[in-house]
């Protein structure tokens, strides 16, 4: 359930809406259907908050994950219009891109004939590539800016295109064909290795040479808010003298990815994350040439996990980490994934794996926090945990902190339900 740090791939070469590099070339204004100017000079990098993005006329609460600097994409529906379509989050609102498209506002050279915003997934939009993504972002920043009146002053269009987030239902953002989960955190791998193999033998020899991953089941991926059923399986009771395994509920359900994968409904673009680029950890020993990066970097994304038992009034923060601690970067994961000829398709999901660090509360799983069940994690109401119990709700959040604003992924949560009877 730690999939805030995710990459949706958008093509066979591994470019992605999560790792694309886009430079804006200015406002997108169709010559045959010009719209009012936003007041930004042609060539302004409107994807970069450091160039002083204008304020939006849409209200953005303090500490919201969705200011004008973000504009993440998702899929939603409403009670009055149950057909799924694509939207963008800003503040406490969702912008219906299908309504803007129908109104002729997404009228640049790459999007004026596009029907992808009426789709029930982001796959077709992802497949359109960087130029279309850039065009959509620059156009939306212009339309949502306080100084641009075309949408702001159109009362009828506002009612259909700018919807309260509380009134929409959010869905899976993409049709995920394949899902690969990496093991990219050195701190997490070291902690697990010490528990399983002993001190002095924490990392397998190949861990620092290869971004290890496994192929998961995309059918287990669910959107935030979906309950997670405790799985059943075969359990060995050798410690009690049993000579054969038995079938029963999982006894050590963690916030790892092996049991279920819960993802945020919002896909944050790398345009929005670009101002938070930072240096990645030094890799020693040097990696093979195909994994070497000319401009090695990662992103400063704060990550937090909270746990709330069913009878508790408030959650307890049990983990705080940051994406910047990952030993392996997203480009390295994509490079190794495709090295052997594995194709990537629009909508494929690449997970980083558990992200741990050396700070207080820096471990990203209950396995580490309880040290394989040998100690407890204290909660606010006096309860304790070693692993997840039925009724527990786990919530993950991730955000980048700017100067007076945040670019975030929203909340990613799920409640643990009891195992089914067999």
Residues classed as catalytic: 188
Residue pair 194/363 in contact by the 8 Å Cβ criterion: no
Pairing, β 85-90 against β 93-96:
antiparallel
CA-to-CA distance for 205 and 212, rounded, in angstroms? 12
143 three-class SS: helix
Peptide bond into 35 cis (omega under 30): no
* C-alpha span between 277 and 109 (Å, rounded): 30
Cα–Cα nearest to 141, from 108, 166, 167, 169: 108
Pairing of strands 349-351, 179-182: parallel
Q: CA dist 178 to 25, 218, 348, Å?
A: 33, 6, 5
- Closest among 354, 321, 359, 350 to 254, alpha carbons compared: 354
Q: What whole-number distance in Å separates Cα of residue 172 and Cα of residue 418?
A: 24
**d(Cα 145, Cα 151) in Å, to the nearest integer?**
9
Give the residue ranges of DSSP H helices in 173-238: 186-197
Number of Cβ within 10 Å of residue 91's Cβ equals: 20
Helix (H) or strand (E) holding 327: none
Give which of 143, 214, 226 is closest to 184, Cα–Cα.
214
- In whole angstroms, what is the distance from residue 206 CA to residue 309 CA? 39
Number of H helices, E strands in the chain: 9, 22
The distance in angstroms from the start CA to the end CA of the chain is 25
CA angle 13, 327, 263 (to 5 degrees): 65
3-state SS class at 4: coil
């Amino acid at each position: 359930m730690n999939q805030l740090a995710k990459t949706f791939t958008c093509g066979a070469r591994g470019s992605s809406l999560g790792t694309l590099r886009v430079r804006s070339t200015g406002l997108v204004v169709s010559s045959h259907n010009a719209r009012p100017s936003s007041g930004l000079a042609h060539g302004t990098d409107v994807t970069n908050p450091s160039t002083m993005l204008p304020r939006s006329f849409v209200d953005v609460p303090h500490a919201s994950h969705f200011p004008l600097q973000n504009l993440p994409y998702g899929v939603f529906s409403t009670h009055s219009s149950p057909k799924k379509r694509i939207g963008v989050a800003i503040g406490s609102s969702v912008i219906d891109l299908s309504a803007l498209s129908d109104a002729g506002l997404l009228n640049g050279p790459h999007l004026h004939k596009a029907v992808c915003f009426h789709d029930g997934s982001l796959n077709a939009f992802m497949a359109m590539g960087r130029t279309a993504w850039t065009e959509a972002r620059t156009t939306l920043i212009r339309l949502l800016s306080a100084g641009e009146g075309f949408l702001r002053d159109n009362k009828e269009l506002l009612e259909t295109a700018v919807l309260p987030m509380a009134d929409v239902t959010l869905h899976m953002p993409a049709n995920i064909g394949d899902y690969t989960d990496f093991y990219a955190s050195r701190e997490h791998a070291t902690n697990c290795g010490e528990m399983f193999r002993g001190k002095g033998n924490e990392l397998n020899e190949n861990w620092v040479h290869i971004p290890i991953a496994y192929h998961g089941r995309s059918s287990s991926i669910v959107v935030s808010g979906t309950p997670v059923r405790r799985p059943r399986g075969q359990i060995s009771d050798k410690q009690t003298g049993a000579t054969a395994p038995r079938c029963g509920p999982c006894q050590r359900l963690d916030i790892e990815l092996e049991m279920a994968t819960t993802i945020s409904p919002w896909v944050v673009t790398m345009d929005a994350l670009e101002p938070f680029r930072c240096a990645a950890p030094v890799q020693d020993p040097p990696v093979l040439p195909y994994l070497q990066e000319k401009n090695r970097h990662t992103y400063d994304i704060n990550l937090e996990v909270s746990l709330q038992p069913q009878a508790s009034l408030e959650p307890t923060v049990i983990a705080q980490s940051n994406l910047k601690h990952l030993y392996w970067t997203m480009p390295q994961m994509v490079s190794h994934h495709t090295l052997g000829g594995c194709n990537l398709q629009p909508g494929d999901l690449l997970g980083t794996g558990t992200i741990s660090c050396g700070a207080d509360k820096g471990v990203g799983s209950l396995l580490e926090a309880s040290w394989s069940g040998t100690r407890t994690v204290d909660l606010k109401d006096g309860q304790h945990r070693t692993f997840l119990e039925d009724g527990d709700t786990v919530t993950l959040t991730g955000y980048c902190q700017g100067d007076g604003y945040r670019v975030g992924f929203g909340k990613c949560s799920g409640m643990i339900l009891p195992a089914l009877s067999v």
